[in-house]
Amino acid sequence: MKINFAMWRKAIWTLVKIDDKNEWEELDVISKWLIATRSGVTTVTIYSCIISGLLAWRYFSESDLSFPWTPWLIVTLGLFIAHGTNNLLNDYTDFSRGIDSDNYFRTQYGVHPLVQGFWDTKTQLKWFYVSGTIAFASGLYALWYTQFNLNVLALFAVGALALLFYTYPLKHLALGEISIFLIWGPIMIGGVYLVLTGQWDWLIALAGVPFGLTVVSINLGKHIDKLDEDKKKGVKTLPVAIGEKYARYVNVAVVIIAYAVIVYLVLGPRFFSPILLIIFFAIKRAILVLAVLMKPRPAEPPKEWAFWPTWFSGFAFYHNRMYGGLLILGVFLDTLARIIFPTLINQYWAPF
């Protein structure tokens, strides 16, 4: 079996669609895992961990301490694998309950090994157990590293429960979207910061809100995209509960608030310097998302649109990638400025 590094890069950056079982069988184990867990989307976990790591770097630089690279790498890898584990469980649960059938939305935009007959449920569970064990070991390491800090233990429990119960029942109770926002925003960013520094900081949690909002914008967009299918399958997501029109308006608010929180953190408590306003270079994509959200989903894809059946989620993902990248760059430059020019920052932009 030849290692396919090109497929690794492709699977990490985008969703891969494969219809030929022979082509699937020729892939190496890592390629299969990355594709089956939809790593093109789960990279949002790495973004959250990078943001948290940079904020922790700011803390350590101000305290004249060395950055704990090993704990950060282990926790980041563990959370990335945990996200993939959740997707494996998600597919297994929906397949077992008969939801991922009849050309359901999920089976149209990426590989679904169970539906496509690439492997059976026993194999899917094996992959889930192996991935889950690695993720669990990372969590145990975080607990050990923090000397079993009760706050870390609580966040570990929240993460584990979210992984196990997101697909059912949370997603069926219109609670999946808020769970996504909390996990990939304030909880993950604040939680990784807590593991690395030993400190829970509500401003750090607030700093995690903007990226968490852009992540849930993708999830909410996907649930609007498949609203009709979910109604038929009895999956009561938030768009099913409140309707497409109001779900689109909620997503409009989500995108706007992602920028508003950054502006507040810069101008209010001055937690960030104006360097963070670099995120407004993503405003063109934000305006595009907002314009798309103001209209109902088209019945048929435009000729130039290659990502159908995703529509709102495709535009939201397009925005998230640039927004997340600029947010990471902004936090990096902000922290670097505080290290190189601490007197200047404290003189002109000291936190209130």
- The domain total for the chain is 1
Q: Of the ranges 1-5, 31-35, 199-203, 329-333, which one carries the lowest mean pLDDT score?
A: 1-5
Is a pLDDT exceeding 70 seen at residue 104? no
Asked, for residue 186, whether it belongs to a domain, the answer is yes
CB burial of residue 98 (10 Å; 0-12, 13-18, 19+): exposed
Is a pLDDT exceeding 70 seen at residue 258? yes
d(CA 351, CA 299): 50
Q: Which domain holds residue 142?
A: 15-348
Q: What percent of the chain has pLDDT over 90?
A: 68
Asked, for residue 10, whether it belongs to a domain, the answer is no
CATH number at residue 210: 1.10.600
d(CA 182, CA 205): 10
| Mean local confidence (pLDDT), 6-29 | 89
User: In which band, very low, low, confident or very high, does the pLDDT at 259 lie, cut at 50, 70 and 90?
Assistant: very high
Asked, for residue 48, whether it belongs to a domain, the answer is yes
Vertex 34, ends 47 and 225: CA angle to 5°? 70
Asked, for residue 65, whether it belongs to a domain, the answer is yes
pTM of the model: 0.93
| Mean local confidence (pLDDT), 266-283 | 96
Is a pLDDT exceeding 80 seen at residue 268? yes
Rounded mean pLDDT of the chain?
Answer: 92
Please tell me the total number of residues recorded for the chain in this structure.
Answer: 352
Q: Of the ranges 84-98, 104-118, 140-154, 265-279, which one carries the lowest mean pLDDT score?
A: 104-118
| Mean local confidence (pLDDT), 192-219 | 96
Q: Of the ranges 110-119, 144-153, 189-198, 241-250, which one carries the lowest mean pLDDT score?
A: 110-119
Is a pLDDT exceeding 70 seen at residue 232? yes
Higher pLDDT pick, 182 / 171:
182
d(CA 51, CA 227): 32
Asked, for residue 160, whether it belongs to a domain, the answer is yes
Asked, for residue 8, whether it belongs to a domain, the answer is no
Asked, for residue 4, whether it belongs to a domain, the answer is no
Buried b or exposed e, range 225-259, using 16+ CB within 10 angstroms: bbbebbeebebbbbbbeeebeebbebbbebbeebb
Asked whether 42 and 84 are in contact (CB, 8 A), the reply is: yes
Asked, for residue 3, whether it belongs to a domain, the answer is no
d(CA 58, CA 61): 5
Is a pLDDT exceeding 70 seen at residue 131? yes
| Mean local confidence (pLDDT), 22-43 | 92
